[in-house]
Amino acid sequence: MRSRAARKAACIQRSYLIISAVMWLDDARRDLQDAARTLRASPGFTAVVALALGVGANTAVFSVVKAVLLQPLAVAHADRLVRVYENVPPAESPDGRPHRFNGMFTRDVLSARGRTRALSHMMAHGIGIVTLAGGSHGVRLSLAPVTPEMFAMLDAYPILGRPFTADDEQPGGDRVVILSYGAWQRYFAGDSQAIGRSIRFNGTGRFSAGIALDAD
């Protein structure tokens, strides 16, 4: 039988993991709001489209628990990935209290990625909701705005087409999207002609550059 100290430590660890999952859900809610603003303000932002929303809450919560608590990230060198937060000390805070922001402003990431020596790659990402035009009514999809370094950083490249390039994020360039494999199969019937065409999201055309495998 485990000692009282060991049981207490296990309970603390389990509580921390559950709290982390709940905080992740709250972070995701804020990310949705931030991403919506990013998509409107940054037309050059690239994006990855996933499957339609609308799954039940239980499924969504289980997916979070499974991803956060039960299995490691299914990417190469997952132990080397870090997430950057911005800490604001009391002296620089409007209310005189310390704050930690969930991530960084996109402009700060773009500025820092060319100067960092500690990180081999640096990317920004978010999540948003868009409507795919087609048929008598649109389909709501989740869309993740990302900077082009994502595929190189995760060492996971599109299975068809091309990854994002630095040109894709330049102002005035094409708005580029990469479809997930699931979205490609479900909404485009796996048609290779879906690559290289314009697809309308929220009434705005985006150039379809490739197809990426779904995350496990």
Cβ neighbors of 108 (< 8 A, separation 6 or more) are 86
Q: pLDDT per residue over 52-61, tens digit each?
A: 443 333 444 4
| 135 or 21: which leads in pLDDT | 135
Please check whether residue 101 is in contact with residue 143, taking contact to mean a CB–CB distance below 8 angstroms. Answer: no
Query: Of all helices (H) and strands (E), which one includes residue 145?
Result: strand 139-146
How do the domains of the chain map onto residue ranges?
21-79+121-212
Following DSSP, what letter does each residue of 149-195 receive, concatenated? THHHHHT---SEE----GGGGSTTS--EEEEEHHHHHHHHTT-GGGT
Quick check: 116 pLDDT over 50? yes
Residue 8: per-residue pLDDT: 39
List, in order, residues 6 or more apart from 29 with CB less than 8 Å away: none
Quick check: helix, strand or coil at residue 138?
A: coil
Cα–Cα distance, 37 to 128 (Å, whole number): 9
At 196-210, the pLDDT tens digits run 999 888 888 888 889
CA count, 13 A, side-chain hemisphere, 194: 20
Print burial letters for 171-201: b (CB count within 10 Å at least 16), e (below 16): eeebbbbbbbbbbbeebbeeeeebbeeebeb
Pick the more confident residue, 186 or 109.
186
In the prediction, which pLDDT does 79 show?
75
Q: How confident is the model at residue 98 (pLDDT cuts 50, 70, 90)?
A: confident
